Amino acid sequence: MAGTRNTALWIVWLALTLAAGGSFGALIFVGGPRNFLLIGKTTGAHHQFELACETCHTSGFFEDAAKIDKAMNKACLACHEDELKVSNDSHPVKKFRDPRNADRRQQLDALFCTTCHMEHVPEITRPVAVTLPMDYCSACHKAVGEERPSHAGLAFNTCAAAGCHNFHDNTALYEDFLAKNVDMADIIERPIVRLAAISRAPHPVLAARENHDPVAALRAYLMDTRRDAPEFETDAVEMLARVLEAGDAVAPAEFLTRDTVAAWAGSGHALGGVNCAGCHTLEHAKERDTAILAANWIAEPGIEICRSCHKEEARTFVLGRHGMRLHPEISEPRQAPKNALLKIVAAVFRDEALWPISVADARLEMKPEAAHLEIGNCNTCHKPHDADIRAAAVDACAGCHNDPHTRTYFSSPHYQLWQTELAGGAPGSGVSCADCHMPKLEARGHFFTTHNQNAYLRPNEKMIRPVCMHCHGLAFAMDALADPALVENNFNGRPSRHVESIDWAVKRARKTE
């Protein structure tokens, strides 16, 4: 009896072991939740796709270590390469390839992003996802005190922590730039953000139509705002011809509600000639047969439709924290096995596709009442039927974000200026959340609103040129951004510290003049 019992137990043990081992193997090689494989908490941005492991871990299981490093670097650059270009990277990889730097590479192998930015190691992760000890600059710049007496005796960890230097982005911090801009006032005279002013001014077509010579008015506007030498006259005529009015709206009757049509008729979409079907169908933008439109109607158009016109906004949206789950480089769920038998066995081991990030998934302080909101569509923040596009610049942000910086914005000088602009002040004179975190950028003679809110966020000196210096002097902006308490209370007050590098730069420049 005992023998039979033992045999049964052995069989059960074997079956359970095989089942557990099989499940474990299936989770690793086939599909299913892999949370247990996360060896440490991921950083603030990457946590959004931490279970889409193949996004970063692109190599095979038994690949050579050197190849794995190269492949992972490539994965980093798939999302971050543009930022390095924009930042005019001070330490591009190519600088480290020279054999004369072989000894330096032994101390700091800067050929790989992961040398400085490891993932899954929260215990050693510093601001800006740096995982090296803070003496990394000394690998190459140990002797800086001999070249620059001002730097002699400075603590090894102050290079990047004192607001003077960054490893990658020094576009606002290099010596000549500091010296050239030292005399700027804290706040420039009549601060207006030029591109925001253009964006928030009454729609140019609307304004032109009120003029006695609309073509001339619009042509003058185009000449003033565009820099890519278009055919101003032809463009002006075409733009005016495109305008749609309330009576032009074409949609199945149930969607043609008075409020919707009235809102649309004053919006940029109507003024730009985009009828209902332009967004609510995929391929029937010019269709007037409402039966065809009804058959192809998309009730809530997604980013793929907005992208067809707002290319740069959509491109940058998926690079930022709000849209990164939609980035094309995020790995797809692992494929089901092709073998029919394995397919049945593996049916329970399937990866879930990444859904758009919801407010509840955020690690930042958010409003509990917004927890259910998902950010996969442009209209989470935008109201495409409305003429007033400004709601997305403050209200949408504050509808979810609830950290001290957001909360104190509403008592800040920036918000006062925003209120004044909303009350009829000069366009571009107010400072919204988006003005600082999604600045308008020029590209090939046009401008767009970058929707990668991360591109100009950290280290915060990245904001100096594309954001702060539209209104503030360089020294004031550097000091303000180097004061964490002032940043947290949304610039209610003056900087309590001073970044000395600007004084040193001026001193050296004057000495040699």
In the bound state with another protein, the residue whose beta carbon lies nearer, of 73 and 402, is 73
Indicate the residue among 48 and 501 with the shorter CB distance to another protein: 501
Minimal distance, residue 348 CB to another protein, in Å: 47
In whole angstroms, how large is the CA radius of gyration of the chain?
Answer: 28
To the nearest 10 degrees (0 to 180), the angle between helices 501-512 and 474-481 is 150
Shortest Cβ 328–another protein spacing (Å): 24
* Cβ atoms of residues 164 and 173 within 8 Å: yes
Tokens of 219: 């042509």
Burial class (CB in 10 A: 0-12, 13-18, 19+), 505: buried
Closest approach, Cβ 100 to another protein, in A, equals 5
Total site size for another protein, rule CB under 8 A: 23
Q: Which is nearer to another protein, 143 or 344 (CB)?
A: 143
Given the rule CB under 8 A, which of 174-182, 226-234, 334-342, 438-446 is the region that contacts another protein?
Answer: 174-182
Give the span between the Cα atoms of 254 and 290, in whole angstroms: 11
User: What is the distance between the alpha carbons of residues 488 and 419, in angstroms, rounded to a whole number?
Assistant: 21
Nearest to 449 by CA among 238, 145, 195: 195
Window contacting another protein (CB under 8 A); options: 172-180, 284-292, 439-447, 495-503: 172-180
Q: Judged by CB, which is closer to another protein: 176, or 254?
A: 176
Q: Looking only at residues 92 through 121 of this chain, which bind another protein when binding is defined by CB under 8 A?
A: 92, 94-95, 97-103, 105-106
The smaller minimum CB distance to another protein, of residues 169 and 313, is found at 169
CA 436 – CA 455 distance, rounded (Å): 11
Answer for which of 140, 198, 206, 487 binds another protein (CB under 8 A) is: 140
Among 47, 68, 177, 197, binds another protein (CB under 8 A): 177
CB of 140 or CB of 422, closer to another protein: 140
Task: Report the residue from 112, 174, 232, 255 that binds another protein according to the rule CB under 8 A.
Answer: 174
Applying the rule CB under 8 A, the residues between 53 and 92 that interact with another protein are 88, 92
Among 9, 143, 185, 216, binds another protein (CB under 8 A): 143
Separation of alpha carbons 434 and 453, rounded Å: 8
Q: Is 367 in the site for another protein (CB under 8 A)?
A: no
* Cβ neighbours for 52, distance < 8 A, ≥ 6 positions apart: 330, 331, 354
Q: Quote the tokens at residue 493.
A: 């007050």
C-alpha to C-alpha distance for 221 and 225, rounded to whole angstroms: 6
Shortest distance in whole angstroms from residue 99 CB to another protein: 5
- Torsion sign across C-alpha atoms 286, 290, 294, 299: positive
DSSP 8-state symbol, 335: P
Among positive and negative, which fits the CA dihedral 351, 355, 360, 362? positive
CB of 109 to another protein, least distance (A): 11
Site for another protein in 482-511 (CB under 8 A): 508-509, 511
Q: Which residue from 35, 62, 123, 176 is in contact with another protein, where contact means CB under 8 A? A: 176
Q: How far apart are CA 147 and CA 117, in angstroms?
A: 29
Q: Which residues bind another protein (CB under 8 A)?
A: 88, 92, 94-95, 97-103, 105-106, 140, 143, 147, 174, 176-177, 508-509, 511-512
